[in-house]
Structures are given as structure tokens and as C-alpha cells.
Amino acid sequence: MSQRKVGGKATEELTCVIGMHRSGTSLTAELCHTLGWRVTGPEDFLRQGNEYNRQGYWETSQLVTINRRILYSLGGDWNVIPRLESNWPHAPALRALRNRARDFIQQIPTPKSTWKDPRLTLTLAFWQPLLPPTRYIICLRNPLDVAFSLHRRDGMDTQWALTLWMFYTSQALIQTQGLARLPIFYEDLIGPNHAMHAQRIQHFLEANSEPRFHSVIHPGLSHGHHGLKPMVSEDPIPRTVKDLWEGLLDWRESGYADDSRIMNLARSYRAPRTQWTTAKKFRLSFWMRYVKMQVLEAKK
């Protein structure tokens, strides 16, 4: 794997957009696509949106399917924390998926492609030994706004949404440490200086395309309330979440110069086992989707 500090130069062939759900991964992937790092798939499909993502999800369906199967095999889902035991990417249960992943990678249009799927944040350790040189864009957002968005879309409990934010964000940091990565805050991409932050993505990708940021970034679509502010004592969030969010804000203020604090926080985090009482409806949904996928696979 290629090694590079934040914002450096390299010759990576693939860009992976990762981060917690509802954190601007779709917007970031669309920006990459606009800059010439294409998301694989018919553009009319990529642009298919809904009331929660009006500009589309910008996900390659085959990548999402493989990531779902990886998480299902580990007893997880996008909203159910999987069991990531030591050496889990080499588990015998994933052997067939590894072959399928290799076949999918062979289809990557080179030299400039973008992968986007928030689930990829949790499955990177499976993919990384198989990938060509890769750069990573980590999408970050205030965890309270993430929780608000997930409650609005899925009715998710706030505390569980914050737990997922902590898990996804920690994994994004851990799996990309020392690699070519660019942290980007959703609040910056839709804020008054959005052009400057979109240009950070352009420079990171070494893109020569004429940017069309105005056609992609629409600040009015955001429903966030908290923004780039530290947590206050009244906010009902765990100490671990507060510490990591404030560490990320300090990292941003320093120009992303020193990641030692946030890496220590990420590595020290121990995700809880998913309790039935906490996520029972997500587990029921998970098993329904798992059985449906098994039936579809059997028909192929």
C-alpha cells in the first residue's frame, strides 16, 4: 500500500469515500465524480435520490452487496455492530466473498475511480490487501446532527446513533492511518467557504477537471443544527463521543497536522455488543435482508 501524509502527492488509482452514514459521503462522492474520479455505474442510477438524499446516493450496487454480505457474515449490518475478531478478514466464511471481491476489483475502470459506501468504513480491512494503490476521503460530521438525521430517517434511538458514529469514525481513522487520506467535514462542504473546501478535494485528487461545485453543493439541503461546535454539558452524549468530536475539531484547527490525540481516542474505543433491547428492530430487519439475499444468491 502506498504511504502518504494528509494532502500529499501520489499516483493512487482508486479513491474510497468513507465515514459514518449521514455525514456527506454521497455529496463527496458526487464531487469526486464531477472531478473525473468516476463512480462506477449508470449515471441516472447514481443520481437516483429520495427525500433524504435528493442528489442520489452515488453507490455502486455491486460494492454495496459485497459489503452487506461481509457484515452479515460477521453478525452485523450497517446499523448493527459486527463482531470484528482478530484476523477476521481471513475467516473461512469469507473465502467465497474474497473471490467475488477480486472479480469486482478487476472491473474497476482505471486509472481514476471512486468507491463510496459507508459500510466500506467497517470492511476496509477485508478489501485493502486486494486493492490497487488507494487514497481515502474521510467524511466527518457533528455526531448530534448525524443522530438527528438518523432519527428523522429511520426513527433510530439517539444513543444508538451516537454509538454507531463513534464506531464508524474510529474505524475510519484506524484503517487509514499512515495512508493517503483527506479528512473533510460536511459542515465545511455546505458552509460559506464551501468552494475552498471542495478545492481541498480537488487538490487531493490532483484533478485537472474544471470544477462545477455550484452544480453539486446546495447548502439548503442540510438539516443540521449543531455544526462545528464543541459539545456542551447539557448534550446527552457519552464522554467518548465528546472527546473524539472535540479532538477532531482540534485536528481541523491545526490544519490536520497532528493526529496523535484522535488516533489514541479511536484505538482506545471498545464498541459495545449490540443488545437486543437496543437494536431489536434493526436485528429483525437484518435477518429479513439476510434471508432475502440468500434466496437471491441461490437463484443465480
What pLDDT is attached to residue 25?
Answer: 95
| Mean pLDDT across 6-21 | 75
Find the mean pLDDT for residues 52-81: 86
Q: Taking a C-beta distance cutoff of 8 angstroms, is the pair 164, 20 a contact?
A: yes
Percent of the chain with pLDDT over 70: 75
Q: Where are the domains of the chain?
A: 14-299
pLDDT value for 213: 66
| pTM of structure | 0.86
Closest CA to 168 of 29, 24, 16, 19: 19
Q: Which pLDDT belongs to residue 252? A: 98
- pLDDT, the chain, mean: 84
| Cell numbers placing 99 | 473471490
Tens-place pLDDT, residues 140-189: 999 999 999 999 988 999 999 999 999 999 999 999 999 999 999 999 99
CA distances from 26 to 33, 57, 179 (A): 10, 5, 22
- The CATH number of 14-299 is 3.40.50
Residue-wise over 116-155: b if at least 16 C-beta within 10 A, else e?
A: bbbbbbbbbbbbeeebeebbbbbbbbbbbbbbbbbeeebe
Percent of the chain with pLDDT strictly greater than 90:
59
Q: What is the pLDDT of residue 293?
A: 55
CA separation for the pair 58, 294 (Å, rounded): 25
Q: What is the model's pLDDT at position 12?
A: 64
- What letter represents residue 240's amino acid? T
